[in-house]
Amino acid sequence: MFENLLGQDEVIAQLRADLSSASMPKSILFSGPCASGKQTAALELARVLSCQAGGPGNDAGTGDRASWNCSCPACARHRLLAHPDLLLMGPRTFPEEIPAALAVYGRAPARASAFFFLRAVRKLCKRFDPALFEGEESRLAKAAPLRREIEERIDLIHPDALPGSPDATAGLEAARSVADTARKLEAFVPDTTPIFMIRAAGYWSRLAPSGLAKTIIIEAADRMLEGSRNALLNILEEPPASLEFILLTPRRNALMATVLSRVRPYVFKARSRDEERLVLERVFKSQGEEPRSSRHGGAIEAFLLAQRPFPPDQARRRARTFLFAAAARRARRGELDPGLAVLASPAQEERADFDPAIAALADSGAEPSEIGDAALATLAADTKDFGAKDDAYSSSFPSFLAALSELLGEALRLPGLGSDGLLLIEEWARLIREAKAQNETLNRSPGLLVESLLYAMGGA
């Protein structure tokens, strides 16, 4: 068991010991950095607890059973994330994981890569399990047809098909179609676990399992709102005997003390560079590229983020160009703090990040308004009008704003920055937050918001 969890030997040993001694508590917490294997461990634990293999290992308290290739019906269904005794909820990075899994399946079509893709998609579909919408079925009206379409096309993917055979070709085409539909379904995943899902999960947990044990997994548990957290406490107080409750979080300290007191913690470490390389090679079939960490995480997270149609590096380049255009407008009006002058006149090596046409405009001494118009046009082209022309780019607007905010944070460390510069950065940060809020709450057009943001930051 836990053969598919790489680079977390201490956690694996602890889990195996608790299973072997029959001391596994009913409510546990997996905490640790993003992409450290918490979800993999949770799904594997759910499979182990449901394993129906005969022999000495049939007791849930035994740690020598439930190998990854166990042939019992429960394990077979869990490997495909199709077991009815599993509930999975909470926000997840589907825009990165599903394209990454599709790329692996396309590069190396085989049983393992097909399962990897199927599991990535089912992690999304599990968020729309009817059991989570008990009494709130109307909320499924738009998502249900997309989920059904995915499930129908998944049946065309045959993991055991020989590479190059008609079945394998049809399976890869079906996978591409499934990935396209999954992008549409992702839009309906809530940003946090709503209270009605927690209550529905509580009702579901008290029903008899179809097998040996039920498991509820909540990802990003730290992002739950107060009402959901309080509803969660009701389940954690007295979990049913047949239920395993698993919370996942990258920020243990963000959880309520009353929640922490009711769960046993298992701490996942940040993987070493060699361990991350192993995961990239074995799981994602990387072609020997040197792992490269992102600004906010390790190499695995950087690899996943790079799968976005509008990846972080590109978002940062466009944000840098945008900030240059806004600062140039301010400088032209004589309203830019001297400490921020570098933003309006970046060094030549920094201009290499700009679109060549915009860099040429900057070098030619073009008017700031002309540079701003070019920056807006390039941004719209790179993001397909922030997803209006292609659903795959629907997350590009928050990604762009996040990159812009990150650059402002770096600007706070510029030498010679005065009080006026600090106030201006604070004002720009407020404008960015307002643009994000207006898009999320009022559904205002990202294109119009970005144009207004440029003018506002430029002092118009």
Structure-token match 């045959």, residue found = 158
Q: Tell me the percentage of the chain whose pLDDT exceeds 90.
A: 56
Q: Please tell me the distance from the alpha carbon of residue 307 to that of residue 321, in angstroms, as a whole number.
A: 22
Mean pLDDT across the chain, nearest whole number? Answer: 88
Beta-carbon contacts of residue 92 (< 8 Å; ≥ 6 apart): 123, 124, 127, 189, 219, 220
Q: Which fold has domain 9-282?
A: Rossmann fold (3.40.50)
Per the model's pLDDT, the better-predicted residue between 5 and 351 turns out to be 5
Q: Cα–Cα distances in Å, from 254 out to 221, 259, 260? A: 9, 10, 10
Residue 245 has pLDDT above 60, yes or no: yes
CA-closest candidate to residue 276, choices 16, 36, 21: 36
Beta-carbon contacts of residue 324 (< 8 Å; ≥ 6 apart): 343, 344, 346, 354, 362, 371, 375
Amino acid (one-letter) located at 172: L
Determine the pLDDT at residue 345: 83
Beta-carbon contacts of residue 221 (< 8 Å; ≥ 6 apart): 29, 90, 193, 232, 247, 248, 249, 255, 259
The tens digit of pLDDT for each residue in 395-433 reads 899 999 999 999 999 999 998 898 999 999 999 999 999
Structure-block tokens of residue 173: 């085409």
The tens digit of pLDDT for each residue in 118-158 reads 999 999 999 999 999 999 999 999 999 999 999 999 988 98
Determine the pLDDT at residue 288: 56
What is the band of 56 on the pLDDT scale with cuts at 50, 70, 90? very low
Q: Please tell me the distance from the alpha carbon of residue 125 to that of residue 225, in angstroms, as a whole number.
A: 23
Structure-block tokens of residue 106: 């396309």
Structure-token match 């940060």, residue found = 429
Phi, psi angle pair for 274, to nearest 5°: -65, -40
Q: Please tell me the distance from the alpha carbon of residue 37 to that of residue 30, in angstroms, as a whole number.
A: 9
Structure-block tokens of residue 310: 């509008």
Which residues are bridge partners to 265 per DSSP? 29
Per residue, the 3-state secondary structure of 232-282, as one string, reads HHHHHHCCCCCEEEEEEECCHHHCCHHHHCCCEEEECCCCCHHHHHHHHHH
What is the band of 54 on the pLDDT scale with cuts at 50, 70, 90? low
Residue ranges matching CATH 3.40.50.300 in the chain: 9-282
Q: Please tell me the distance from the alpha carbon of residue 449 to that of residue 249, in angstroms, as a whole number.
A: 32
Do 121 and 171 touch, CB atoms closer than 8 A? no
The tens digit of pLDDT for each residue in 265-313 reads 999 999 988 888 888 888 887 765 555 555 556 788 888 888 788 888 8
Q: What is the mean pLDDT of residues 365-389?
A: 91
Q: Please tell me the distance from the alpha carbon of residue 248 to that of residue 46, in angstroms, as a whole number.
A: 14
Residue 12 has pLDDT above 60, yes or no: yes
Q: How far is CA 334 from the centre of its chain?
A: 42
Structure-token match 């940062």, residue found = 316
The tens digit of pLDDT for each residue in 90-120 reads 987 677 889 899 988 988 888 888 989 999 9
pTM: 0.79
Residue 214 has pLDDT above 90, yes or no: yes
Q: Cα–Cα distances in Å, from 368 out to 321, 335, 364? A: 12, 14, 11
Q: Please tell me the distance from the alpha carbon of residue 260 to that of residue 262, in angstroms, as a whole number.
A: 5
Residue 179 has pLDDT above 50, yes or no: yes
Q: What is the mean pLDDT of residues 445-456?
A: 95
Per residue, the 3-state secondary structure of the chain, as one string, reads CCCCCCCCHHHHHHHHHHHHCCCCCCEEEEECCCCCCHHHHHHHHHHHHHCCCCCHHHCCCCCCCCCCCCCCHHHHHHHCCCCCCEEEECCCCHHHHHHHHHHHHHHCCCHHHHHHHHHHHHHHHHHHCHHHHCCCHHHHCCHHHHHHHHHHHHCCCCCCCCCCCHHHHHHHHHHHHHHHHHHHHHCCCCCCCCHHHHHHHHHHHCCCCCCCCEEEEECCHHHCCHHHHHHHHHHHHCCCCCEEEEEEECCHHHCCHHHHCCCEEEECCCCCHHHHHHHHHHCCCCCCCCCCCCCCCCHHHHHHHCCCCCCHHHHHHHHHHHHHHHHHHHHHCCCCCHHHHHHHCCCHHHHCCCCHHHHHHHHHCCCHHHHHHHHHHHHHHHCCCCCCCCHHHCCHHHHHHHHHHHHHHHHCCCCCCCHHHHHHHHHHHHHHHHHHHHHHHHCCCHHHHHHHHHHHHCCC
Determine the pLDDT at residue 57: 41
Phi, psi angle pair for 48, to nearest 5°: -60, -45
Determine the pLDDT at residue 335: 84
Determine the pLDDT at residue 65: 65
Residue 451 has pLDDT above 80, yes or no: yes
Structure-block tokens of residue 152: 């129908």
